[in-house]
Structure 1
Amino acid sequence: MNKRAVILGAAESGVGAAILARKQGFDVFVSDLGTIKDKYKKELTDRQFDFEEGQHTEEKILNADLVIKSPGIPDKAPLIKKLKEKGVSIISEIEFAGRYTSAKKVCITGSNGKTTTTLLIYHMFQKAGLNVGLAGNVGQSMAWQVAEQNFDYYVIELSSFQLDGMYEFKADIAILLNITPDHLDRYDYKMQNYVDSKFRIAQNQTADDLFIYCADDPVVKLEMSKRKLGARCIPFGLGVPPAEGAGIIDNNMIINWEQNIFTMSILDIALQGSHNTYNSMAAGISGKAVNIRNEKIRESMADFKGVEHRLERFLKVHGIEFINDSKATNINSTWYALESMTQKTVWIVGGIDKGNDYSELFELVKSKVKAIVCLGVDNSKILEAFKTLGIDMVETQSMEDAVRSAYFLAKNGDTVLLSPACASFDLFENYEDRGHQFKQAVREL
């Protein structure tokens, strides 16, 4: 009698998990409480899976030997509680995929910068000719790739939600970029719970594995002083380079690695701004760790294109540069964006606020921003927060209006920055939709 695997959620990770589970001999059932997207429904139908949408049929789920759940389903959901009471093992797709591959796994987490760092490492590994897959929050489902491809390396972006469902999984190289308050609603509003979740990236690591971390991040630094990790710990920061790790001297990034030194001017790195210097250091150390040659690491950092909707320098119109940073959905991401601005900036901000404290941005706004364009259904909190700074402020309720207003407020040599610091669901489907609408509105100027 085959073991029964139930997959909850039928998007990329769920369909991938179903394909791998069947390959490993499980009896598979897929259930999604919402509507399954056409392309995934076609996969499930073509491959003749037993699946349902718009409901969770408990008698088909509670008899599972193993449940692989989408990271979006909270542990507090009634169905999950029932499964736990029955003692059913509930894991994430990445945990499941990790059980069936011997590939080396480079895993990246952090509150900000993880997509950029993940894609930069993937770009670097590809350029160096390594046989590498991209998985986790970006790329294709890891389980799907484990089932149907044969990679030697996986570069995996992991959110705290994914890490929460991981138990036996082990990263060969784990990277922790930073920890700032985010998603606290999922962690009983306790910062330590969120911190513990992020540190799960180091679980099961041994002395043969690497844990690469930002020594400048106050939360990470404090936590490192309290923990005894099994892995070899490699720090990076903007200060003097450690004996092993990365740092900066006179605008040069220096990576000390096993008697071999890598140097590169930070002015030659495609991704500018101090936050991107951190991302590049983490990527550079990973490259050194898998013996990529210095010139390949240098080339990758110089020609990397960056991530769509993340400080994406989009177009110049009459000497005004438009930058799409729609992916900035929290204060910290926007802080990084404003910090990297070198021209006078018209800032487009707003959406659904996740409990933002705008005072953290006051100093940067005073020094960098000439005008603020609010874009949201309710802009009152932003107007209230910044009214004392004496900066021009405009209220808008559509992207077209926001872009046009910003264009009139800016002049030749200025920058217009969309960096909302908020979720997008009041006016847009998601941050990608918001970014695409921004780019469309700029094209129409």
Structure 2
Amino acid sequence: MRLVVLGGGESGIGTAILGLKKGFQVFVSDNGTIAKKYKKVLLNTRIPFEEEGHTESEVLKADVVMKSPGIPDKVPLIQKLKQEGIKVISEIEFASHFTDATIVGITGSNGKTTTTMLTHHILKNEGFNVGMAGNIGDSFAQQVAENQYQNYVLELSSFQLDGIEKFAPHIAIITNITPDHLDRYNYKIENYIDSKFRITMNQTENDYLIYDADDKHIAEWLKSNKIKAQLLPFSIERILEKGAFIRDNNIVIKTNTEEFIMGITSLALQGKHNVKNGMASAMTAQLLKVRKQTIRESLEDFEGAEHRLESVLKINGVQYINDSKATNVNATFYALDSMTTPTVWIVGGVDKGNDYFDLMPLVREKVKAIICLGVENDKIKQTFGNVIDLIVETAGAEEAVKVAYKIAEKGDSVLLSPACASFDLFENYEDRGRQFKKAVREL
């Protein structure tokens, strides 16, 4: 069997390693350059590869193609493969064929990284043999090739779910759905929502779908579509018969007959969205028979994800916060909602069709100045120009931080929460976050 891997990044190299181990004839093809660390792996394992372009005749010899999540379906080469009847799948689909582990799959527009890390943290504390992969850490395929984990917690993007056929997690979580990546879905939110719900398409009556009952997109989709999995909702707005909800400032979880109760104030991560992330993770743990004591302790001592509302330093009474992972408006909504002091907001980057208007009430209430960090800032200036007196454009993290330092006064916060992708000025959101933190430390 010939496996062609399109894209020599994390998921591509993991797939190549697993494919080689399982006896496939593997060929890796990348349209750009392959990073040094990945090229080294290919050379060491003697996997043939090409970079700076795809040789169509070589790619079309495939029995199966794994394409990296970054390659859109509309690319002519992908269209041609499909016309030829060659199977094109994601790394998640490929790797899932080679493991019998219990899988928890987590998707959603926001909160999926925190929920993935938190769920993994709880299971690990209970002594589970558990791996964490997907959009986070080492690729799922590489972990299947090199480890014997009995459980996986996978963070799954819509792009990864677009490439599944039979993949079925035992527990699926949809944290929320808000417009994101619409450029990949013909600017139709319906297509994006359908994509997220692929996570449950192969689940059976013995599996579970945990979801945000307060999310209108999720609620509407579930009304008009039938699924087989058992439904477990969570809500911070109303009391539910089954699932997770809030009663007297406590999180209450009912997955079967017994209740799990924990005070909201003892959660390590505060904010409404983190209450929801905690609910989803705790329900998952309860389904997997983790002791209540472990769930409680894990929710109390969990440290959040880097680049997600991460406190960097306090300088002259001003708190600097790195929320570089906020690559869409909804993530920034959460960030602004959690601010309790006057805020200098650093925003901007590659706009994915954002509507900033949803942020207006929070900006009016909390933001004293806006610093634009992107090549194209017109939309931000148009939206907030009449509400915020001070809007400054900058061309890099260092300049943005220096400007913020001049504007912010004792008792204020400086929040990097871009609401945009980062590819105009940075390699990725991690690079953006690290450059921000470096600039803060050098003040």
TM range (shorter): over 0.9
**Which residue in 1 is equivalent to 2:374?**
376
Q: Given the superposition, is the C-alpha separation of residues 398 and 72 from structure 1 closer, same or farther in structure 2, using an over 3 Å criterion?
A: closer
Aligned 1:220-369 pairs, distance under 5 A: 220-369=218-367
**Which residue in 2 is equivalent to 1:162?**
160
Q: CA deviation at 1:243?
A: 2.5
**Which residue in 2 is equivalent to 1:149?**
147
Q: Is the 8 A contact 2:119 2:153 kept in 1?
A: yes
**Which residue in 1 is equivalent to 2:440?**
442
Q: Is the 8 A contact 2:130 2:150 kept in 1?
A: yes
Secondary structure of the residue aligned to 1:82 is: helix
Secondary structure of the residue aligned to 2:54 is: coil
Q: Is the 8 A contact 1:241 1:254 kept in 2?
A: no
Q: How far apart are the structure 2 equivalents of 1:320 and 1:339? A: 18
Q: How far apart are the structure 1 equivalents of 2:425 and 2:71? A: 24
Secondary structure of the residue aligned to 1:435 is: helix
**Which residue in 2 is equivalent to 1:385?**
383
Secondary structure of the residue aligned to 1:417 is: strand
Q: Is the 8 A contact 1:359 1:385 kept in 2?
A: yes
Q: CA deviation at 1:240?
A: 3.8
Q: CA deviation at 1:374?
A: 2.0
Q: CA deviation at 1:55?
A: 2.1
Q: Given the superposition, is the C-alpha separation of residues 294 and 369 from structure 1 closer, same or farther in structure 2, using an over 3 Å criterion?
A: same
Q: CA deviation at 1:241?
A: 3.7
**Which residue in 1 is equivalent to 2:98?**
100
Q: CA deviation at 1:218?
A: 0.6
Secondary structure of the residue aligned to 1:394 is: strand
Q: How far apart are the structure 2 equivalents of 1:318 and 1:249? A: 40
Instruction: Name which of 33, 41, 44 aligns with 1:43.
Output: 41
**Which residue in 2 is equivalent to 1:131?**
129
**TM-score normalised to structure 1 length:** 0.97
Gaps of 5+ in 1: none
Secondary structure of the residue aligned to 1:404 is: helix
**Which residue in 2 is equivalent to 1:16?**
14
Gaps of 5+ in 2: none
1:219 and 2:217 correspond: yes
1:122 and 2:102 correspond: no
1:427 and 2:419 correspond: no
Q: How far apart are the structure 1 equivalents of 2:160 and 2:234? A: 25
Q: How far apart are the structure 2 equivalents of 1:390 and 1:5? A: 54
Q: CA deviation at 1:390?
A: 4.4
Q: Given the superposition, is the C-alpha separation of residues 153 and 241 from structure 1 closer, same or farther in structure 2, using an over 3 Å criterion?
A: farther
Q: Is the 8 A contact 2:370 2:388 kept in 1?
A: no
**Which residue in 2 is equivalent to 1:113?**
111
Give the 4+ runs in structure 1 shifted more than 4 A. Answer: none
Percent identity between matched residues is 58
**Which residue in 2 is equivalent to 1:188?**
186
Work out the number of aligned pairs and report it.
443
Secondary structure of the residue aligned to 1:138 is: coil
Q: Is the 8 A contact 2:182 2:353 kept in 1?
A: no
Deviates more, 1:379-388 or 1:47-56: 379-388
User: What whole-Å deviation, never above 9, does each CA across 1:192-241 have from its counterpart, x for those lacking one?
Assistant: 11111100000111111010000000100111111111000000010344
Q: How far apart are the structure 2 equivalents of 1:322 and 1:259? A: 45
Q: Is the 8 A contact 2:183 2:352 kept in 1?
A: no
Q: Is the 8 A contact 1:239 1:249 kept in 2?
A: no
Q: How far apart are the structure 1 equivalents of 2:58 and 2:30? A: 12
Q: How far apart are the structure 1 equivalents of 2:275 and 2:37? A: 38
Q: Is the 8 A contact 1:241 1:255 kept in 2?
A: no
Q: How far apart are the structure 2 equivalents of 1:286 and 1:257? A: 9
User: What whole-Å deviation, never above 9, does each CA across 1:336-392 have from its counterpart, x for those lacking one?
Assistant: 100111112111112222222222111111111122222233333222221211443
Q: Given the superposition, is the C-alpha separation of residues 155 and 390 from structure 1 closer, same or farther in structure 2, using an over 3 Å criterion?
A: closer
Q: CA deviation at 1:421?
A: 1.2
Q: Is the 8 A contact 2:183 2:353 kept in 1?
A: no
**Which residue in 1 is equivalent to 2:83?**
85
Instruction: Name which of 380, 386, 393 aligns with 1:395.
Output: 393
Secondary structure of the residue aligned to 1:255 is: strand
Q: How far apart are the structure 1 equivalents of 2:399 and 2:51? A: 39
Aligned 1:408-427 pairs, distance under 5 A: 408-427=406-425
Q: How far apart are the structure 1 equivalents of 2:352 and 2:393? A: 20
Q: How far apart are the structure 2 equivalents of 1:78 and 1:374? A: 36
Q: CA deviation at 1:189?
A: 1.6
User: What whole-Å deviation, never above 9, does each CA across 1:128-180 have from its counterpart, x for those lacking one?
Assistant: 11000111100111111111210010000110110000011111000011111
